[in-house]
Structure 1
């Protein structure tokens, strides 16, 4: 795909930087990935969380030709996740800097994201020892179910990754089918083509898992359900042709929609979902959604400001009405890397 004229998001697409792991290295020690930073400096007192470590494993595993440093990150994140998992497949989420867990194992969002990270490692890591250990941990965790639709969606995305390498993995297929069912049916009203009355966080993941599940041989939902969700969601998040994602406070049907604070995780989730839709359908229009996500980070957003720091490689934590939140935590940096990985693939 080549596009160098027209809308600013299209022009910026041609100059998107390569994904940088510099700040991720800065945020990682021999235990795991720290959650927060003040500007670019790690805040050790906030410790680590499985949520972010799992996302770290996703982006490290997505690198087609990882450097030795990136492969070491993947190994470190995998070791963290296997340590976080209990014998029944649930996961701790929060580890203090003193290396003590501060919670009990559960099946919340962190369980789903852990399975997403493990599944991505199974599917994409070039290291056989990483793939093998990740499959053991994924298979244990995939026997569980969460009552939370987002957690199920994240887990389902991990199951879809496993099925790309192991098409006969029965546990993964069952999890993916259950994840799509957990999203729920889409309403008939074209003004709100969404299964719930409120948009919250990482919304595109719900549409993406339905699209992924439509490829199952048996029991998959209609592809059109997921595409209709994603088409509507992308449409309501465009403002004057640029991406303007649902803010951290969400948006309830019928309520006034606020513009801030916008979170990088929403942008990265949209890029992920559009990339999956483009792969499944072959429709190049979905590549435009990826371009818009890349453009958001590079400055084509409601404030017209870049959402990353080229000096550190870190992503800014949120877009406020007055500009970026200059803290560069793990979640925002991972969202930046993930989106730029798509830019490289689809450029």
Structure 2
């Protein structure tokens, strides 16, 4: 490595200490921070960036403890340097949860997170959310990629990341624009901080050429891990013309081959480039430096460069560390028009050429190599442009933003604010439906006709249509589906109660459904009356609800009472008279509250029954609705106590563990860890989600918002297996088994996912 290279050329650039314009840091309260990302010796640009962020923060905050968390992408850990205090396997879900606990326990004030798709485990890196769901400190997230057209999984993770980050740092204004335009991120949450770069004086390139054996030659260079997306072919194709006009030119391709490429094909790609150069007769004008170089050695090569070239092949690169380094040492740049280059090289800072246009690259490079005055002027402009990217300036920006975030303490509830994924596809709902109604069960994705239909699921399907109509205008096909489910429910009513089970041959298999089925069917009618479905459908629902109403006191199970309380509260102002409905609410609520008083005890059993079963969260939800409606403080307090008690038993390691079927009708006061974990069903997650949303709405307590999000996360993979239960076509697996997901997709599960999403959407 060259030493003592402080030979400044005579340009408009003055001493570096006089140029750096970033304000010095005020006294800081930061005493414990953490930095998370990849880290050397892992070979990738993000690892280098994380190391440099750590170094500049550590230098700027000498009094602070800085923990470094590195991600492992292989079974054996890397031989990390001492500054790495923890490393976790990217696919180990439990490790993310443990990390959050450790950061919280250490009183970490700020987590500086590096985010790139592909370095965290789970679908689109969703495992990272297992940590972010649990940390209670501000999270300052540096986005190394901002996708303009994400797929569903990427959008889901990105929106969750946005909601959990106090600040989003992007290294280009284009990234800020995408965040605002595509993800609706407010400007005040975004900070644009240039990619960091070293602090070196602007010097003549000839001072560095001797040790590289290129003295007296005109030098081009491209550096970074070698892979096909770098577009090296574009410059090789330009070399015949460049070398004809500039016979002493040498193109240095600097960097080891990308480890992923090595794993698949070894050095075949590099060999193809060499052969291409030989075929074009320019092999004497190109040299490959196949090493993973230290920063100092790399910058030496950059300072020996006359023109730096980035001929990348795609526009969607929001930041380039190599471009940032080249500009920081004042290199004239000729580049393809990827996002970072278009922004950074504007106003004469560099030259932008079309993708894969070797003629344009040749013309631009020749123009700079043959005009010393133009090259020197561009060098000065590049150096001035990059002054804010010096690592000391970057550290100042990060610390100032973190200090500002500390002025707004982050609670667990705030961190766990809703992060809705895109609306589920309707294909799964349509697949399970025919001209009779919705099939009850699925065999994998197929409707299982052997089990026919049930009013329970058709009532839920009708509720979904009613709720969706209030969120968005339904197209003609969905309205037709609503009529179909309504027709099923109309046929199910037998004068005193609803029948439930129907065979595929359309024969009723019972004389009357359970109390729970009847209450749920009545609630579906009320939902339709309050919906934006067609007027005649609402009129039908109102007329049938008025016929059903005199029978509701006959349904006496605790769950039917709870569902009726929600339905009757919703009926006020729409069906029946207010006084009569309020009297019904009072009578039913007294019965449900009586069950709670009978079975709850001073030793901590805060429940309505001796055991837990299915749809448990409906019980406290119904009682809470009634307590608030009747202004009954005791009823409201007991409802919230019961919901809190239930959530304690449904929470494990910070995520939802719905009461599994193997736990039904057993002693719920036994510690959760000793109970069977499976099977866990989507219905429980939906009921929990909706009950917690109701508690948040009626009490204004943000902790219930966090609990609702916990239930929502169960569908997305925040569960005991770390597996998502939802599918791209809007389906939902029938729960979690000891071995993974239950591959069947029945109506109850599919509708639980859609109804849960709709409830969250309405709450947002």
TM-score by length of 1: 0.91
Deviation at 1:151, TM superposition (A): 2.1
Q: Which residue of 2 aligns with 1:205?
A: 618
In the alignment, the residues of structure 1 paired with residue 587 and residue 458 of structure 2 have an alpha-carbon distance, to the nearest angstrom, of 25
Q: Give CA-to-partner distance per residue, 1:252-274, whole Å, 9 cap, x none.
A: 23555221100100000011111
Q: Which residue of 1 aligns with 2:564?
A: 155
Query: What SS is found at the alignment partner of 1:150?
Result: helix
In the alignment, the residues of structure 1 paired with residue 564 and residue 467 of structure 2 have an alpha-carbon distance, to the nearest angstrom, of 17
Q: Which residue of 2 aligns with 1:319?
A: 736
Q: Relative to structure 2, which stretch is displaced further, 295-304 or 270-279? A: 270-279
Q: 1:125 to 1:228 in 2, by over 3 A?
A: farther
1:52 to 423, 437, 457: 457
Q: Which residue of 2 aligns with 1:224?
A: 637
Deviation at 1:171, TM superposition (A): 4.8
Q: Which residue of 2 aligns with 1:21?
A: 426
Is 2:627 aligned against 1:214?
yes
Deviation at 1:133, TM superposition (A): 1.3
Is 2:522 aligned against 1:115?
yes
Q: Give CA-to-partner distance per residue, 1:33-57, whole Å, 9 cap, x none.
A: 1001111111112110001111111
Deviation at 1:66, TM superposition (A): 3.8
Q: Which residue of 2 aligns with 1:253?
A: 668
In the alignment, the residues of structure 1 paired with residue 515 and residue 635 of structure 2 have an alpha-carbon distance, to the nearest angstrom, of 27
Q: Relative to structure 2, which stretch is displaced further, 166-175 or 39-48? A: 166-175
Q: What count of residue pairs does the alignment treat as equivalent?
A: 344
Q: Relative to structure 2, which stretch is displaced further, 201-210 or 96-105? A: 96-105
Q: 1:149 to 1:42 in 2, by over 3 A?
A: same
In the alignment, the residues of structure 2 paired with residue 52 and residue 124 of structure 1 have an alpha-carbon distance, to the nearest angstrom, of 19
In the alignment, the residues of structure 1 paired with residue 456 and residue 660 of structure 2 have an alpha-carbon distance, to the nearest angstrom, of 20
Query: What SS is found at the alignment partner of 2:741?
Result: strand
Deviation at 1:107, TM superposition (A): 4.7
In the alignment, the residues of structure 2 paired with residue 344 and residue 259 of structure 1 have an alpha-carbon distance, to the nearest angstrom, of 29
Q: Give CA-to-partner distance per residue, 1:50-74, whole Å, 9 cap, x none.
A: 0111111111111122412332222
Deviation at 1:283, TM superposition (A): 1.9
Deviation at 1:188, TM superposition (A): 4.0
In the alignment, the residues of structure 2 paired with residue 217 and residue 226 of structure 1 have an alpha-carbon distance, to the nearest angstrom, of 13
Query: What SS is found at the alignment partner of 1:17?
Result: coil
Is 2:514 aligned against 1:101?
no
Query: What SS is found at the alignment partner of 1:222?
Result: helix
2:686 to 268, 284, 304: 268
Is 2:435 aligned against 1:30?
yes
Q: Which runs of 5+ in 1 are unaligned?
A: none
Q: Which residue of 2 aligns with 1:285?
A: 703
CA contact (8 A) 2:449 2:504 kept: yes
TM-score by length of 2: 0.43
Query: What SS is found at the alignment partner of 1:124?
Result: coil
In the alignment, the residues of structure 2 paired with residue 20 and residue 159 of structure 1 have an alpha-carbon distance, to the nearest angstrom, of 31
Q: Which runs of 5+ in 2 are unaligned?
A: 1-159, 167-411
In the alignment, the residues of structure 2 paired with residue 267 and residue 150 of structure 1 have an alpha-carbon distance, to the nearest angstrom, of 16
In the alignment, the residues of structure 1 paired with residue 443 and residue 494 of structure 2 have an alpha-carbon distance, to the nearest angstrom, of 32
Computing the radius of gyration from Cα coordinates, the structure with the larger value is 2
Q: Give CA-to-partner distance per residue, 1:221-263, whole Å, 9 cap, x none.
A: 6221211111211122110110011101314235552211001
Q: Which residue of 2 aligns with 1:235?
A: 648
1:81 to 469, 489, 495: 489
Asked which structure has the greater RCO (Cα within 8 Å, sep 6+), the reply is: 1
In the alignment, the residues of structure 1 paired with residue 634 and residue 446 of structure 2 have an alpha-carbon distance, to the nearest angstrom, of 45
In the alignment, the residues of structure 2 paired with residue 26 and residue 12 of structure 1 have an alpha-carbon distance, to the nearest angstrom, of 33
In the alignment, the residues of structure 2 paired with residue 151 and residue 198 of structure 1 have an alpha-carbon distance, to the nearest angstrom, of 17
CA contact (8 A) 1:112 1:151 kept: yes
Deviation at 1:180, TM superposition (A): 2.4
Q: 1:104 to 1:157 in 2, by over 3 A?
A: same
Q: Relative to structure 2, which stretch is displaced further, 62-71 or 210-219? A: 210-219
CA contact (8 A) 1:13 1:295 kept: no
Q: Which residue of 2 aligns with 1:133?
A: 540
Deviation at 1:117, TM superposition (A): 1.0
Q: Which residue of 2 aligns with 1:342?
A: 759
